[in-house]
Amino acid sequence: MTPADPVKALIDQFSYTGQQGAIWKGFDRFLDTDRYLNLGYSSRFQTHLIGSPQRRLVAQVAMELTRGGVAPGDRLVDLGCGRGGPTLDLATELEVEAIGIDLVPYNLHLARINTYDALATPRFIQGDISHLPIRDGVAEAVTAIDSLVYIDRTERVMAELARILDPEATAVITDLMLGDAGDVETATLERFEDAWGLAAIVDIETYRAGIEASGLHIDAWTDLTPYSVGQFRAWTSRYLTLRAGHTSSLIERTFDRLDLDIDAIDEQVEAAHDILPHLRHVMVRSRIRGD
Ligand SMILES: C[S@@+](CC[C@H](N)C(=O)[O-])C[C@H]1O[C@@H](n2cnc3c(N)ncnc32)[C@H](O)[C@@H]1O
C-alpha cells in the first residue's frame, strides 16, 4: 500500500523516526550501515556479518562499470546514494568525478561526514530520482544500488535515468525483482513491501520490459541472489529460531537496552523471511540503444 506521503515515509525510514527504520537502526549495531545501506554481497566462504558485505557489493558494481568502459575522469551519478560509502568507493576506485543524489537529509549529512577528509571528493545533492536535478546527457556513468526498489513507476524512472546518460554511457543497477510472480501470494508480497517501505516489486519480465521501453539496451544481466538475498535468508532463519527459543527474553531485554523496537523488527524479519525465496537480486548493465 502506497503511503499518503511517500517522501515523508522514506525520510522517516532512513532517519529512524518511523517503524520501517527499526531494522536499519538494529543493523547499525553490527554492520557498516552508517556508510552503506545495500543488500551486500558475500561469496560462499564469506559470512554476511563479518567485514563489509555492503562494500563488496559496491566492488561488484565497480567491476561492472569497468567492463562497460567507464574510465578515469568520467562523470558518474549515483542515484539513491544513501550515506555515501558506495559513491566514495566508486570515485576512489575508478577515479571518476562522482555525484551522489538522495532524498533523505540524514543520509546526505552522513555522506558528507563520511567523505569529508577523503582523497576523492564526491558531491552530494538532495534530489528525487523520479525528477533528477541533472541536465540531459551529462553522465558517462550512472549507478543505482538497491535504490529503485523504493520508487513506483519503474518505466518512468528508467526514462529519467536514460535522460541524463551520455549516448556512449553505461548504467549499472542492482535491484530486487520477483523470479516468478505466479508463485507468490499477493498478501505475502504486500506484507514485505509495507514492512520495509518498498514500492511494488515487479517480476523479471516486467522489469526487463521497463528498461527496454525507456530506450536502454541491456548489455549484461547478473544474478546476485545466492550472494545477497540467499545469505540474508540464513540470517532471518537464525533470528526466528532464536526468537522461538530460550534466548527470546534475553533478545527482548537486549533490544530494549539498545532502544530497538522489537515488534517492528520481528515484523520486518518475518515478512522478509517469507518472501526472500521468491526474490531475485540482479545487477543490470545497460546503455542507450543505438538505433
Ligand atoms: C537501500 S538504500 C541504498 C543506498 C546506497 N545506494 C547504498 O548502496 O548504500 C536506498 C537509498 O535510496 C534512497 N532513495 C529511495 N527513493 C529515492 C528517491 N525517490 N530519490 C532519491 N533517493 C531515494 C534512500 O533514501 C536510500 O538512501
**Tens digits of per-residue pLDDT, 209-253?**
999 988 899 999 999 999 999 888 888 998 899 888 888 889 889
Q: Residue ranges per domain, the chain?
A: 6-233+262-288
Q: Is the pLDDT of residue 176 over 80?
A: yes
- The Å distance, Cα 169 to ligand 1 centre, comes to 22
**Cα–Cα nearest to 16, from 78, 83, 81, 79:** 83
- pLDDT of 179-198, one tens digit each? 977 788 999 999 999 999 89
Residue carrying the nine cell digits 523470479: 179
User: Comparing 22-31, 90-99, 162-171, 263-272, which segment has the lowest mean pLDDT?
Assistant: 22-31
108: CB partners within 8 A, 6+ apart: 84, 100, 102, 124, 125, 126
Helices 248-257 + 262-275 axis angle, to 10: 120
Give residues with Cβ within 8 angstroms of 251, minimum separation 6: 242, 243, 262
Averaged pLDDT, 64-87:
97
Name the amino acid, one letter, at 72. P
With beta carbons less than 8 A apart as the criterion, state whether 264 and 161 touch: no
**For residue 45, pLDDT beyond 80:** no
- 48 pLDDT higher than 70: no
Does the pLDDT value for residue 66 go beyond 70?
Answer: yes
d(CA 291, CA 279): 33
pLDDT at 137 over 70: yes
Ligand 1 neighbour 129 (Cβ under 6 A):
yes
Q: Is 38 in the pocket of ligand 1 (CB under 6 A)?
A: yes
Which of 2, 5, 8, 10 for a ligand 1 pocket mutation test, highest count of atoms within 8 Å of Cβ?
Answer: 10
Angstrom distance (rounded) from CA 68 to CA 91: 16
| Amino acid at the residue 53 | P
Whether 159 has a pLDDT exceeding 80, the answer reads yes
User: Band of the pLDDT at 51, cuts 50, 70, 90?
Assistant: low
CA distance 259 to 243: 18
Read off the pLDDT of each residue in 56-76 and give the average, rounded to a whole number.
Answer: 97
Kindly indicate the confidence band of residue 67, based on its pLDDT and cuts at 50, 70 and 90.
very high
Let me know if domain 6-233+262-288 sits in CATH 3.40.50.150.
yes
Handedness of CA 157, 25, 39, 271 (dihedral sign): negative
CA atoms within a 13 Å half-sphere pointing along the CA-CB vector of 67: 16
Q: Which residue has the cell 503511503?
A: 3
Average pLDDT of the residues in 141-160: 89
**Nearest-10 crossing angle of helices 53-67, 85-94:** 40
* pLDDT over 80 at 79, yes or no: yes
- CA-nearest of 168, 170, 141 to 77 is 141
Question: Model's pTM, two decimal places?
Answer: 0.94
Centre of ligand 1 from the C-alpha of residue 78, in Å: 10
**Residue 130 Cβ < 6 Å to ligand 1:** yes
